[in-house]
Amino acid sequence: MTSCSDMVCQAGYIAGNVSGGATTQTDGCATCSAGTYSAGGAATVCLASNCPAGKIASKTGATAVADGCTVCENGSFSVGGSTTTCSDMACPAGQIAQTVTGGATSAVDGCESCLPGTYSLGGKFTSCQNSNCAAGKIAAKTGATSSTDGCIICDIG
């Protein structure tokens, strides 16, 4: 009498169904998609990844709970877990998204005010724009929200 053997998939893969039956122990192994992982063996379900906040689960065929976690680019953030895409930052007007070591963890994490002489409309912008004050005026406001916000008349002298 012969018996069926369990499938033995490598890490990052799960045992799937094979139409007509598997002919080898690795026949029908399927790759886990981004946001999931598997230690392999006879597992039939990929488990949810758990990346720290500021990172996303971007790797297909992940082999451990935090395998393939990548930092979100400047101007975006992630709350972590098994999410596979970063969300756009939402800095208030007058601020820009600065690089956060380990990745931004909220829509306003790492937002910093523009220096005098510059402004920002907010959102996911990563650099301030130059102010455009009329002749005889200077841009003196930190966190300006438009090209003329914070323009003041120059002192005589």
CATH of 1-71, picked from 2.10.50, 2.40.50, 1.10.760, 2.60.40, is: 2.10.50
The pLDDT value given to residue 1: 46
**Any residues with CB less than 8 A from the CB of 37 and at least 6 apart, and which?**
12, 46, 47, 49, 62, 63, 64, 65, 67, 68
The pLDDT value given to residue 6: 66
Residue 23 in this model has a pLDDT that exceeds 80: no
Average predicted confidence (pLDDT) for the chain: 90
pLDDT-based confidence at residue 8 (cuts at 50, 70, 90): confident
Rounded distance between C-alpha atoms, residue 65 and residue 7, angstroms: 22
The ranges assigned to domains in the chain are: 1-71, 89-150
* Summary count for the chain: helices (H), strands (E): 0, 14
